[in-house]
Amino acid sequence: MATHRRARRFLLAGLALSSLMALSGCGLLVVGGAAATTATVASDRRTAGEQVEDQTIEMKVGAEMRKLFSEDVARVNATSYAGIVLLTGDVPNEQGKQRAAESARKVEKVKKVINELRVGDITPVSVRSNDTWLTSKVKSTLINTKNVPSRTIVVTTERGVVYLLGKVTAQESQMAGTAASSVTGINKVVKSFEIVAAETVMAPLTAPAKTAPAPIQDSGSTGTTPVDSSGGAETIPVK
């Protein structure tokens, strides 16, 4: 009986330690019983505090959008990563689009707003369901792409346009964009990454990408939706 109690205590202690490591962003992906030690270490590069703040930001921005618009005329989604907020969805007019961005900027802890709201009727449910499916496909592709830190990349899709946010190196950004653009069914990929130095991440890249990068264009000069205060969004056309 005493042996059973000791074993149970060890098990609980191990689970607690694992949870703490995951929350702190230092957890390791275990594959086949061994911890991964390459650049594919699956950890979120945000601190635990940043992750909580992003969840809070999304809830607060969502509440502000519900104050601005009724559900029958607009649909606004807010995605936050390290205080950078991406707005996607549909609003009835240009004035509503600007009001939404202004309201999101006023939310505490918001650093930047990327305004990708579309002016027009609310997107049909069938299209939104397909967007959800495309997001799943892109996430799966990133997970299976070597040297891409998939768990630190947030993916969202709107009308076939895939948006990527996260803290990545320049090389990781290139590889993630190329991998995402290879997914069948998407229209284009918009990268709004925060580029960080390789030496600042837990496991810097050591191997070059095997696939040639897709053409990368500045979204502000290609006729695509202007990016509001993003400071470095890139659009990758899908061939």
CA distance 162 to 177: 10
Same domain, 98 and 159: yes
Rounded to the nearest integer, the mean pLDDT of the chain is 79
> Would you state the pLDDT for residue 216?
35
Question: Is-contact 117 90, C-beta < 8 A?
Answer: yes
> Would you state the pLDDT for residue 208?
39
Q: Does 38 or 104 have the greater pLDDT score?
A: 104
Same domain, 55 and 28: no
- pTM score over 0.85: no
Q: What is the DSSP letter of 183?
A: S
Same domain, 6 and 56: no
Same domain, 59 and 119: yes
CA distance 153 to 163: 10
Instruction: Sort strands 161-168 and 84-91 into parallel, antiparallel or unpaired.
Output: unpaired
> Which residue segment(s) compose the domain that 26 sits in?
2-35
Same domain, 70 and 147: yes
> Would you state the pLDDT for residue 236?
73
Q: Domain tally for the chain?
A: 2
Q: pLDDT for 132-188, tens place per residue?
A: 999 999 999 999 999 999 999 999 999 999 999 999 999 999 999 999 999 999 999
Same domain, 91 and 15: no
Same domain, 212 and 197: yes
CA distance 193 to 163: 10
Same domain, 190 and 146: yes
Comparing C-alpha atoms, which of 50, 89, 219 is closest to residue 101? Answer: 89
Region 31-36: what's the mean pLDDT?
33
Same domain, 221 and 130: yes
Same domain, 31 and 43: no
| Helices assigned H by DSSP within the chain | 2-23, 48-68, 94-105, 125-143, 170-181
How distant is the alpha carbon of residue 47 from its chain centre? 15
Amino acid identity of residue 47, one-letter, is: T
Tokens of 125: 């449910």
Same domain, 48 and 118: yes
Region 24-38: what's the mean pLDDT?
35
CA distance 74 to 106: 20
Same domain, 46 and 18: no
| Range name among 29-33, 59-63, 209-213 with the lowest pLDDT average | 29-33
Which residues, at least 6 apart from 193, have a Cβ–Cβ distance to it below 8 Å? 164, 165, 166, 167, 168, 173, 176, 232
Q: pLDDT for 109-133, tens place per residue?
A: 999 999 999 999 999 999 999 999 9
